[in-house]
Structures are given as C-alpha cells and as structure tokens.
Structure 1
Amino acid sequence: MLSKKLHSCRFDANDICRISSALTKILNVTAKRQVHDSSFDTSHELLQTDSGPVVPSRPLPLIIQKMDYPSRFAPPKQAWIESLGTIEDEKLGTIDLHPEIFGTYPRIDILHRNIVWQRNYKRISHAKTKSRAEVQGGGRKPWPQKGLGRARHGSIRSPIWVGGGRALGPRGPKSYFYMLPRHMRVLGLRTALSCKFAQNDLHIVDSLEIPSDDPAFIEELLDTRFWGFSALFVDDTDIMPRNISLALSKVPQFNLMPVYGLNVYSMLKHETLVLTLAALEKIQQKILHQMHKTSLDRSFKNERVRY
C-alpha cells in the first residue's frame, strides 16, 4: 500500500531538495549522538566520522549493582568507588551497599559489649598469693595451748598473723576468656560499618595500589582528601601490595588488615575505614550468610546430641 501511494505521489525538484536536506540533518544529529555516547566507552578503539577519528574523552563510570539477599524494606545505600593512584580525589563510579549491613540502627550498647568482649577474652591475670601451706616457717605451735593466758594459736603463718598466708587470695594464672553470642558479634560488625558509613568515614577503593612507597605520599593523600589522622586499610588477603606496605610501615597511625581480621575495636580505633572492592564483597557475603543461614552450626562434630 505504501509503495502504491509513493508511486501515485508526484514530487517536484523543490520537494526533493527539501527531503534531501532533512535527511542530511538527521544523519548529522545521529552521528553526533553516537560520538557523544561513545566518549563514555571503556574501549580505546577510534571512531571513524566525517571529520576524522575521535578518541574517547573519559572511561565509562563503574556502576556495581550486584547484591545478594536484597532487602524488601529499604533501598540500597550508595557509595563512591575511589582510587589511590592520585593524591586528588578521583571517582571511578558508584556501588550499591546492602542496607541491612550499612544501614543498621546504631546500637551503642552492642558496640560496648563487643569492645568489652574484645578487651577481656584474651586477658590472663597472673596475680597469685601464697596460702598458709606455702608460706615459709610456722611448723611448730608458738606457745602451749594452756597456762600462759594467751590466745590459742597453732601456727604463726595463719592468715590472722602478720606475715602469714592469705586465705582467699588470687590463685593465678586466671583466664577471662568467654565467647560473645554469634548474633551479637555480627550485629556489632553491622553497627560499626553503619556508623562509619553514616559519618562519611567509610571509603571504597578499587585496590590498594599506590605509585610510590614514600610515606609522604599517603600522608598527603589523606590530608588532601580530609580522611582524618588515622586510617585502617582492609583488603581481601593478607598479601598486600609492596608500595603501600612499605609506606604504612613507617606511619604508626595507618594500619593494614586482611578482611578475616576485621573487628569492631579496630574500626572504632581508627578514624577512617578504607575497603577494597574485593574486601567489601567478602564482608557482605560473610555477614549476609550469618544473618540468613538456617542450618545449626556445631562447634564439635563428635559431640553427642542428647534429648
């Protein structure tokens, strides 16, 4: 039908010129839009246009939206992905953070219980006093039982004598080890991460690679970006990059930590928390697994279950 209508229409020279000019404008606009969209492409291939090759001006922003166990009641939190390659703040993109981990209500009592537990579970008291059996001397009766008008005593090393033993003194070494319930430890990590995120003290970086092992570089970087006076850098493995390991070894207020050692006390001790993308993924994976698991975790496999 359309072809019949076109054949039935009669075009003069002016109509053909107007149609050709309109098509030329449409092609030019389309080419400009393609060049503009390709400037955000991560590939470095040259785009051929009428005016010549065009090099992309900047890379595509990195947007990570993958998330396990998505929440039905709260939208995800968003954070910038930064780089440690330059002193100035360089944004590489954004990443979605799980709201149940980085949007938890700040339970100060849970943080306090975690801090008390971490300070006490490795504490061992070596205080020890001697009993009356361990004090030297006092083998004989100091005076007869009767006849002298004195009080009755059997040994000068009795606890009521000066220089005697102690009846109920400490008998070290004594361990103060105890385990905080698992759900309180997980909630403590969630609360600490949420507090750091809410106070803008949590930063996500692509990696811990820095161009120099000079401590002045990392100090100037934190000073320029206003990251505070102390920082904790966390990666997914305990094999850290060489430059940042040498740089932070000479600065006592900056520390490196693998993700399996992350704890509430260390996060609150440092002003700024810096996580790599790999460490962030592993932290979210481990915490979400503990929050949503349904199987019973037994510490002793050979333990007999009694009903």
Structure 2
Amino acid sequence: MISRTVQCLNTISKLGLRAFSSSVPDVNGAEVSLAVAAVENGIIAKRKLKYLNNYEPPRQAWVENMNTPEEKKLGIIDLHPDVFGAMPRIDIIHENVRWQSLYKYVSYAHTKVRSEVRGGGRKPWPQKGLGRARHGSIRSPLFRGGGVIHGPRSPKTYFFMLPFYKRVLGLTSTLSVKLAQDDLHIVDNLEIPTEDPKFLEDLVQERNWGVSVLFIDDTDIMPRNITVAADNIKHMNLMPVYGLNVYSMLKHETLVLTLAAVEKIEEKILFQLHRSDNIHITSKFHINQR
C-alpha cells in the first residue's frame, strides 16, 4: 500500500501537481498535512478532517480550473467518507424527491356539498300517497346534479416534514452517488475570464459535463462573469451551499463544487451527524413549534 502511495506521489510531483491529500504518508513516511478547502492567492490553506474513521479511508477527487475551457489538474483533495462516501440509499433519495415535490403543492380541486348546490329548497313530492321513495331535496347526493359526498375540498395542502436525518442521509447519499458516477467535479473557484455564455458552453462541452450543470459556491454572492454567463443559459444554474438539496442535484447531470463549498458542506453535514442534542430535532414536527 505504501509503495503504491509513493508511486502516486512521485507521479504527481512529475506532473507538477499539488497534492491535496490529507491522510496518505509522503515519500519520507511523514504524514502529509490534511487537505485543503480553499485556495487564496495561490496559498494552500490546510484543514483537518473531523470525525475521520480509521477504518474508512477518505475519498479523493481532482481539483480542476475554470479559467480555460481545457481541463487542468491543480491537485488532489481528500473528501470525507461520511459525506462523499456514504452507502447510497436509493429509497431515502426517492423519499426526499417525493417530499420536495409534495410539501409545497396545494390542490384546488373542489366539489360542492348539498347545501352549496343551487336549488332544491322545496320537497320534490309529498312524503306519502304517491308510492315513491321519500326525499326532501333534489340536491341530495342521491340525485343527479346534487351535492357530492366526501369529495375534494380546496385548498388542500400536502405539506409534511420528512424526518430530519432522512433529509441529511438524502444529501450524503446523493453526493456519494454523484462522486461514484464521476458526475461531481471540484474547482478552485468560479472565476472565468469573460461573461460571454459561449465560453461557459465551450468549457462544459470540452469537459463532457453533460447537458445540465449545477455550480455550487459557499456564498450567494458569486463572481460577476459566471453569474451573467449562466443567466443566459437555461441548463446551467448557480446555487449557494445553503440551498443545496437532493432534487436540484438529481435534476442536473453534473455537480460542480468549489473548494470553499466542499469545506462548508462537510462542516454542516458532519455537525448534524455528530451533534449531541439530536433529541430536539428528531421529535415530531409541529407548526409554530419552539
């Protein structure tokens, strides 16, 4: 294992790449410092992978550039296995998609009960003497054109809250599936040299990122050039980390994360997975609860 790691590091050094690794030993046997989450002015900022299991190695991914259509490898970054290497639960992913599709849906289908239907105020025929069944109104549900029993009444909301850890597990499962399918790419930042949409389209086509791309950054104030370029392309969207969700990740073929976004995603999800007060967030949801 060590010899393979040495060969890998030698290859990286020959290519002139910066190793973003956090847990593999270097050529001299010393532990390489933990991975980078952000690159500022060419300086690699070190970070530490929290809650790392000794029996579960971190996942790794290339860090790419965004300033040229041609792909350039800037280094390798370690990804936390609890976030990007979780066992994919397709059933949980389906529950998240169904929840996101239903919780904001309102049905306006509406039927009238007998008291709301026009007419039918007098008794259609006498109670006795005609040999007919007794009725009090032609708007009874027994008559054609009468009221409807147990019909849909609007507005009806389908809002419900998916259990908290099912939502967290949906995020980790989707991120892990995207990484395993090579549909997750990591870039140093979202800076592109021009706001021309043609540049962004050429970049996506050159790198075979598919028909739809979702760019994720750690903040909602993103570089001007990529904001203007993506605004004119329907199948490319920008999203901050706080808006990341299962439905949007599955709707787009490729997911592109910045280094800062990777750091923020791991920080938020690991906090939720290891928080000590989870009894308060796993209780049944009530509207206006405190």
TM tier, smaller: 0.7 to 0.9
Deviation per residue, 1:177-207 (Å, 9 max, x gap): 1111111111110000000100111111111
Q: Which residue number in structure 2 is paired with residue 119 of structure 1?
A: 101
Amino acid corresponding to residue 237 of structure 1 in structure 2: T
Within 2, Cα distance between the matches of 1:272 and 1:76? 22
Amino acid corresponding to residue 247 of structure 2 in structure 1: Y
Q: Which residue number in structure 1 is paired with residue 212 of structure 2?
A: 230
Within 2, Cα distance between the matches of 1:243 and 1:60? 21
Query: Conserved in 2, the CA contact under 8 Å of 1:124 and 1:175?
Result: yes
State percent identity of aligned pairs. Answer: 60
Query: Conserved in 1, the CA contact under 8 Å of 2:209 and 2:254?
Result: yes
Q: Do structure 1's residue 180 and structure 2's residue 162 form an aligned pair?
A: yes
Give the C-alpha shift of residue 72 in structure 1: 2.1
Equivalences for 1:286-297 in 2 at 5 Å? Answer: 286-295=268-277, 296-297=279-280
Q: Which residue number in structure 2 is paired with residue 167 of structure 1?
A: 149
SS at match of 1:93: strand
- Unpaired runs of 5+ residues, structure 1, are 1-35, 42-58
Query: Conserved in 1, the CA contact under 8 Å of 2:17 and 2:74?
Result: no
- Pairing partner for 2:126 from 144, 149, 154: 144
SS at match of 1:119: helix
Amino acid corresponding to residue 58 of structure 2 in structure 1: P
Amino acid corresponding to residue 93 of structure 2 in structure 1: L
Tell me which structure has the larger Cα radius of gyration.
Answer: 1
Give the C-alpha shift of residue 153 in structure 1: 0.9
Give the C-alpha shift of residue 62 in structure 1: 5.3
Give the aligned CA root-mean-square deviation in angstroms: 2.5
Give the C-alpha shift of residue 297 in structure 1: 3.1
Q: Name whichever structure is richer in helix by fraction.
A: 1
Within 2, Cα distance between the matches of 1:156 and 1:61? 83
Q: Do structure 1's residue 71 and structure 2's residue 39 form an aligned pair?
A: no
Give the C-alpha shift of residue 64 in structure 1: 5.5
Query: Conserved in 1, the CA contact under 8 Å of 2:17 and 2:73?
Result: no
Q: Which residue number in structure 2 is paired with residue 257 of structure 1?
A: 239
Taking a change above 3 Å as real, the CA distance of residues 65 and 282 of structure 1, as seen in their structure-2 partners, is: closer
Amino acid corresponding to residue 143 of structure 1 in structure 2: W
Within 2, Cα distance between the matches of 1:116 and 1:136? 39
Amino acid corresponding to residue 135 of structure 2 in structure 1: H
SS at match of 2:151: coil
Name segments (4+ residues, structure 1) moved above 6 Å: none
Instruction: Give the number of aligned pairs.
Output: 250
- Pairing partner for 2:64 from 82, 87, 112: 82
Higher relative contact order (CA 8 A, sep 6+): 2
Q: Do structure 1's residue 110 and structure 2's residue 92 form an aligned pair?
A: yes
Query: Conserved in 2, the CA contact under 8 Å of 1:213 and 1:246?
Result: yes
